Chain A
Amino acid sequence: MGILDFLKRKPESTASVARERLRIIVAQERSTRGAPDYLPMMRNELLEVIKKYVHVDLDAININFERDSGHEILELSVTLPEGKPAAGSPASNEATIG
């Protein structure tokens, strides 16, 4: 680092962008590891259904699959946005679900 370096403004480093993107995707993929193969497809279909009523994107749906002694738990959570219902949808009058 030289004395003239402060003149160059640095944007956020690409390495830290890569790090954050990887943290998220790796955590997501680990959470569904060993789970049935149909989970991603089911997630997308659920998203289509939910989209009929509320504007959400793929990140809004979280599916967790856990194996406990003798049984399996499928945990599903959907984060609904505040005050942004899909136009003309039945949910348009109930905008504060999330």
Chain B
Amino acid sequence: MTAEIIVVTSGKGGVGKTTTSASLATGLAMAGKKVAVIDFDVGLRNLDLIMGCERRVVYDFVNVVHGESTLKQSLIKDKRYDNLYVLAASQTRDKDALTQEGVEKVLDGLSEDGFDYVVCDSPAGIEKGAHLAMYFADHAVVVVNPEVSSVRDSDRILGLLASKTRRAERGEGPVTQHLLLTRYNPARVAIGEMLSVKDVEEILGIEVVGVIPESENVLTASNNGIPVIVDADSLAGQAYSDTVARILGEVRPLRFIDVPKKGFLQRVFGG
């Protein structure tokens, strides 16, 4: 049994890759899967903070790749779900710390240890780290904001997924692409200030797997080191739960993409 490898990528920085990786990995673990989430952003480790395990990092991804620690020593067990593990990025400044062979060895090791899913949190850009994060993927979650530079960059990433991955090179069938629209503000879409779900889908020629509304809870969750999906009361958390269910094959309608209905007086007088 080999683990399914999911890369969370975007091209552009700051669109919500790490937030998404944390919630996706946690959501899969909540569904009973054995999950590892790996931070590929060597030199700029951050997934540990979002997962709330920053003080428990002893060995990291680069240590395993270089044989300085075992996989078992380096995987950090999540506080809430005991079938969820984090592999932190190294804080080294050496750009060549990761190699394709090294990454493959770690992924194979996780498969042997019975992991169902490995979530790879890609760094921004299209350099080596981003390339390695996507290279072995079976699925890709492309995180996009309804904003021009993010949409353009994600089109570039979709192109790379179709050509620069092991699946593409071996002709093993395409990497399954999932488009995830984050920081969505239905009120601004309604007044023509923001690209809509349909706009982004049409421009990129791919349907969204989920829409995460812009939400204060995302910052609150990161302040606390708790993936926002754990906050079942928040709209962003619920939208992430839906997204994970869809990735697992469930059919669920999109929520939180329309402005909440107004009352009678508001409808008459506007505002």
Residues of A in contact with B (beta carbons under 8 Å apart): 1-5, 10, 13-16, 18-19, 21-23, 25-26, 29-30, 33-34
Contact = CB atoms under 8 A, between A and B. Distances in A.
A14 B146 CA distance: 12
Contacts, number: 56
Contacts of B163: 34
* Secondary structure dominating the interface of B: helix
B204 A26 contact: yes
Contact of B203 (A4, A16, A23, A34): A23
A13 B193 CA distance: 6
A13 B163 CA distance: 36
Contact of B194 (A15, A23, A29, A30): A15
A13 B195 CA distance: 10
B270 A18 contact: no
B155 A14 contact: no
A98 B230 CA distance: 62
Identify the interface centre among A3, A23, A26: most chain B CB within 10 Å of its CB. A26
B156 interface: yes
Contacts of B268: 2-3
Given A2-B266, A10-B192, 17 more contacts: A2-B268, A2-B269, A2-B271, A3-B269, A13-B191, A14-B193, A15-B193, A15-B199, A16-B192, A19-B199, A22-B151, A22-B203, A26-B151, A26-B155, A29-B156, A30-B159, A34-B159
B152 A18 contact: no
B232 interface: no
B148 interface: yes
A14 B192 contact: yes
A22 B147 CA distance: 10
Contacts of A33: 159
Contacts of A15: 189, 192-196, 199
